[in-house]
Structure 1
């Protein structure tokens, strides 16, 4: 049984329609790469799943219809979001950012700091004083503190130096290996996605144009819909 089922998802920003039929499923413990060029609807899909924008179609999570729920209740079902642009609480300390998101479960402040040691070294620092890579780690740690069943990472490596990008990818691989949670990934790096993703769905012009096992994604399809 699928943990997340998205069927014929359509969404608009005012009078401008952005999604015209997005379809994919994600199982417990699976890592799915949501792929496509810039502006094709990936982040809009995430916003629709998380109930940040109105949408139609089917978005079913853990057997519940998310369209019936406000965003905060959808999140409480187990949606953990690492948003594009990080969006840490700049004036709060690292510790306060983590505590603000905490919900009961195995991911505690101590476990997050053990998993992301750099956060443990900076618990008293304000988020605004952290480097870009450290802020991204904080955004991941904050999402883990919600104890999600599904972790959504929207462009988690965007704008970071190569060494920091490699560290983020290592963190994602460790989460897959050690946590068993489902993960939905948006990123531009096909090579890194291929190393961690079990499956993929490609969006072009607001519609799913390909979905399947990551191992079955051909170079031709990748070049047609994802390559620059």
Structure 2
């Protein structure tokens, strides 16, 4: 069943157009990789899905519901959990306060988040500001899970992290895919790791989707053309 449908959307920052017709879809239980070089519209696409940026034309639907007139906080209540680029934890709040600030009833609670990221349990009463970058990223993911989303969006969730921490994050994504029916949209540049968890991919270039298909079909010619330096 298709959970998220993005159909030929355009969007702008003031007078500057950023998206020129992006389409993608994510099915229940599926992992979609949204890829592209820096500045190609990946985070802008995420913002339009979450209604943090208005869609100029086209349509974003969640379980068939058009989100055109739905404000961002209600999109979250409908089941979209965002792990934003840069983590954006509440620095002055403790780990547990960050988690319960976003909590909604459902499968995911403090115990299950701690099972996924045991380090958060160890740091439970520390302020988010005192955590390492990797721990803050775990907290950002845990906070999104506490909303009990149907769709989890990870925007550059491993960027700038140490290799061992990156492995922990990717292991958590793989576990979420394996053990839950959650749909996941991942924005990342790590081809090898994405290849291990993603079912399909969409590549953006200058605000347009220029390639889409099964992750297994993403060959060297495509990656060199659209993802190479």
Between the aligned partners of 2:114 and 2:147, the Cα distance in structure 1 is 14
Whether 1:123 and 2:86 are equivalent positions in the alignment is no
Count of paired positions: 228
Question: In the TM superposition, what is the alpha-carbon distance from 1:174 to its structure 2 partner?
Answer: 0.9
How many angstroms apart in 1 are the aligned matches of 2:183 and 2:6? 15
Shift of 1:109: 1.1
Structure-1 residue corresponding to 2:9: 9
Moved more, 14-23 or 210-219: 210-219
Which whole-Å deviations, capped at 9, do the CAs of 1:36-75 have from their partners, x for residues lacking one? 0000000000000000011121100112111120001111
For each residue in 1:117-175, what CA deviation from the matched residue of structure 2 results, as whole angstroms up to 9, or x when unmatched?
Answer: 11011110000000000000000000000000000000000011111111111111111
- What CA deviation, in whole Å up to 9, does each residue of 1:54-110 have, x standing for no partner? 112110011211112000111111000000000000000000000000001010111
> Partners of 2:153 and 2:98 in 1: how far apart?
18
RMSD (Å) for aligned C-alpha atoms: 0.7
1:156 aligned counterpart, secondary structure: coil
The equivalent of 1:179 in structure 2 is 180
Partner of 1:74: 75
Using the TM superposition, give the Cα deviation of residue 184 of structure 1 relative to its aligned residue in structure 2, in angstroms.
Answer: 0.2
Whole-angstrom CA distance in 1 between matches of 2:228 and 2:168: 24
What does residue 205 of structure 2 align with?
A: 204
- Unaligned runs of 5+ residues in structure 1 are none
What SS does structure 2 have at the residue aligned with 1:58?
strand
Alignment of 1:78-89 (within 5 A): 78-89=79-90
Gaps of at least 5 residues in structure 2 are: none
Q: Which structure 1 residue ranges, 4+ long, deviate > 6 Å from structure 2?
A: none
1:111, CA displacement in angstroms? 1.3
Aligned to 2:30: 30
* Matched residue SS, 1:67: coil
Q: What is the DSSP-based 3-state SS (H/G/I as helix, E as strand, rest coil) of the residue aligned with 2:134?
A: helix
More displaced, 108-117 or 5-14? 108-117
1:133 alignment partner in structure 2: 134
Task: State the TM-score, normalized to the length of structure 1.
Answer: 0.98
Distance 1:160 1:216 in 2: 28
State the partner residue of 2:109.
Answer: 108
TM-score by length of 2: 0.98
Q: Which moves more between the two structures, 141-150 or 59-68?
A: 59-68
